[in-house]
Structure 1
């Protein structure tokens, strides 16, 4: 006679791990979450040191619609969203009218030119899709650009228009948190886009993760170093030598951490799984959040600096429009983000303010600031995953597939929504369901006519969306 309920250890307290833990606990499993940081949330990190919430990590809901798996949770909490784009474009998390772009001399780029170049950019991307369909071998987005320009010289732009195009490339690099030289032309548009455009979480993501985590047994400051799987269970060891045993484990640590090899698996993970870890890209996008005494910038959602190369371009998110606080967020990605991570916080802030002063000479110094370092943070070692040149898009799915009683979750295991919070969340639900089926099957207790978790879920609550 069995006296205990089935048990699971969840490794990683980000959105993937917490949603898996929540689901399994609700299914009467004994669940323990081991998290290396001193807080939950992972790459979702809402900071309150300015006296109001700002997100140092994820801050958007991509796809403001009821099809978004996170919508019911956000709706029930009554959290407001500020919609920054009406369409479902991969590359614009803001509508074109909400940009103000400037050249290096501080002159604003005429809005007609911004729109015109935006249309050219879309034509180039259409041509890139033709180029990739003709060739078997993959290539980088930047290589594909060169081929398109050689074929269709009329798409090549000069002067200011060229610089604006570079800014669009810079935005594309921000979307993937990687440089155009490494982004796959074959796979760049493979993720699914939910309708409803993009919404900024006005009060940050913290209330969402806290709600999901309520009542869970979460051990923070527990860095896992070893996972041993046997036919009858798993044994997990942490850095300080503690060991924990359970029937199964859900591994929801960031891809960068899996790549680093700081967690030893015994026996080793199968080769197909290790290859998925090695071959998926992990990008870096950071935030330098600047809190000012007062607003001295135009009333747009995005300020941009155009330059001759995408590396020289920059962009600032204006949080004042969405949250009414005088805050600008400088967001470097790819190589630029790596270079800025080598600087001290003060130097990084000075660098951002210098970019701002190029376009707004009377820019004030910030009264407070925050600097994220997702690339060098040992708990993340990157911002989020993307497709690199020459590697298949099915790597996300391979990363998700269970190995015996180890189940995998997190944004890098989502083939539909990689790099997103709702992607991480939905993989947590999937890992929990796979784990539940496997463990109960072993206990011989699986009632195949039981409804699958979440099927009878509560009626959905509409999202609160503002658009000024």
Structure 2
């Protein structure tokens, strides 16, 4: 049977890496960076300034509930002071968690948001009359995720994704056991050495077949997840928990949870902040005085803010150990689904060099042919530089077609 491929009729292409208010997807530790630095940066500065966000959650980072939990911790720290008037910078999940908690306790809270919308790196866009998450998409670590509990209370539609069982294919033949290869790598490499060097040495000692499997595992479970090449990753990335814990997504979008969290808050959109001043009397931000400030902007934006006085040296040094992963998304809409369907819509494509390696098929959840693809690390530059959104979308479609053809070949063997 011939695979009859049709082009997309609509698309949405993200540009998080070029967005001045995000400059990437989520935080990552550079070589030499330690998870303990996340704890340090969440410690209040002089009882006036509090940093929050997914980057500063030492239990789990790089997820929406990481930001939410960090915002709750910052709010709790503020309540230990005499502050009655608080400015929250950023209306993402960290800022909304902090603001809603403090307002419920009777504090005077203002939220300053640089964008013309709430959500930060969470954004539900419209495509073909349907809501699609073009930023964060999953309720990860579901059983311990407080946003999942709120989704249940609101009776929001949810669908489970089993990341361990994707409908997967490789460009060069039958797919090896990727999960086994990755676990063997995690248990075997020398973590006292730079991650890139350790993995290079590990791969060099494998058979050809095992090296192929391990290389695919690195592409999918490290580079695609962190959004960075191995040379820019701390070995501790191997121990930071991520997906694969009963994760679910919201077919109608994260906007439902954002609107719920923002309800009743005093949020000022289109209010970027460039300078934060504080002393023993309080803080000054955009000409507004308050007793304390909770700053929830992403790490690279935080580094660009002017603090008066400067952040303590330990904080400035800790921030240099962080960067942002490069990850983008394309959502494609078609007149019909021409690619193979999987049980829960999760697809993986192992290509060389790596490109659109991860897909979420939204067709069954939304009742229309929609599919979202993710691309990360160096592949973003290869596929995005000097190209229009249409060109990017068509190239992504071509990679989806290559995956579908590989699945078909495997089924015919």
Q: So what's the TM-score if we normalise by structure 2? A: 0.72
Q: Does the C-alpha gap of structure 1 residues 194 and 84 become closer, same or farther in structure 2, counting only changes over 3 Å?
A: closer
Paired residue for 1:19, among 86, 97, 120?
97
Paired residue for 2:333, among 288, 291, 294?
291
> Using the alignment, how far apart are the partners of 1:347 and 1:194 within structure 2?
30
Once the two structures are superposed, residues 261-292 of structure 1 have per-residue CA deviations (whole angstroms, 9 ceiling, x without a partner) of: 1x211111111111222211211111011011
User: How far has the Cα of 1:153 moved from its partner?
Assistant: 2.7
| Mapped pair 1:350 → 2:405 | no
User: How far has the Cα of 1:354 moved from its partner?
Assistant: 2.3
1:146 maps to which residue? 200
**Structure 1: unaligned runs, 5 residues or longer:** 86-93, 238-242, 362-468
| Mapped pair 1:54 → 2:54 | no
> Using the alignment, how far apart are the partners of 1:249 and 1:338 within structure 2?
36
The CA RMSD over aligned residues, in Å, is 2.5
Paired residue for 2:164, among 92, 95, 104?
95
2:379 maps to which residue? 336
- Say which SS state the counterpart of residue 265 (structure 1) adopts: strand
> Using the alignment, how far apart are the partners of 1:5 and 1:313 within structure 2?
48
| Mapped pair 1:80 → 2:124 | no
User: Is the 8 Å Cα contact of residues 299 and 321 (structure 1) preserved in structure 2?
Assistant: no
Q: Does the C-alpha gap of structure 1 residues 121 and 351 become closer, same or farther in structure 2, counting only changes over 3 Å?
A: same
| Mapped pair 1:63 → 2:170 | no
Paired residue for 1:122, among 177, 183, 195?
183
2:61 maps to which residue? none
1:157 maps to which residue? 209
Map 1:272-283; keep pairs closer than 5 Å: 272-283=314-325
Paired residue for 1:182, among 220, 232, 254?
232
2:115 maps to which residue? 37
Q: Does the C-alpha gap of structure 1 residues 313 and 167 become closer, same or farther in structure 2, counting only changes over 3 Å?
A: farther
- Say which SS state the counterpart of residue 396 (structure 2) adopts: helix
Q: How many residues align?
A: 321
> Using the alignment, how far apart are the partners of 1:171 and 1:149 within structure 2?
16
Paired residue for 1:205, among 254, 258, 267?
254
- Say which SS state the counterpart of residue 158 (structure 2) adopts: strand
User: Is the 8 Å Cα contact of residues 355 and 375 (structure 2) preserved in structure 1?
Assistant: no
- Say which SS state the counterpart of residue 288 (structure 1) adopts: strand
> Using the alignment, how far apart are the partners of 1:340 and 1:265 within structure 2?
37
Higher mean C-alpha displacement, 73-82 vs 214-223: 73-82
Once the two structures are superposed, residues 50-101 of structure 1 have per-residue CA deviations (whole angstroms, 9 ceiling, x without a partner) of: 2111101000111121x3222321221111221112xxxxxxxx122x3231
User: How far has the Cα of 1:224 moved from its partner?
Assistant: 0.6
Q: Does the C-alpha gap of structure 1 residues 325 and 21 become closer, same or farther in structure 2, counting only changes over 3 Å?
A: same
Once the two structures are superposed, residues 113-142 of structure 1 have per-residue CA deviations (whole angstroms, 9 ceiling, x without a partner) of: 44x3432232122112xx22xx3xx412x3
User: Is the 8 Å Cα contact of residues 60 and 200 (structure 1) preserved in structure 2?
Assistant: yes
**Structure 2: unaligned runs, 5 residues or longer:** 1-81, 406-413
> Using the alignment, how far apart are the partners of 1:69 and 1:16 within structure 2?
13
User: How far has the Cα of 1:30 moved from its partner?
Assistant: 0.6
User: How far has the Cα of 1:360 moved from its partner?
Assistant: 4.2
User: Is the 8 Å Cα contact of residues 59 and 205 (structure 1) preserved in structure 2?
Assistant: yes
Q: Does the C-alpha gap of structure 1 residues 250 and 144 become closer, same or farther in structure 2, counting only changes over 3 Å?
A: same
| Mapped pair 1:304 → 2:343 | no
User: How far has the Cα of 1:44 moved from its partner?
Assistant: 0.4
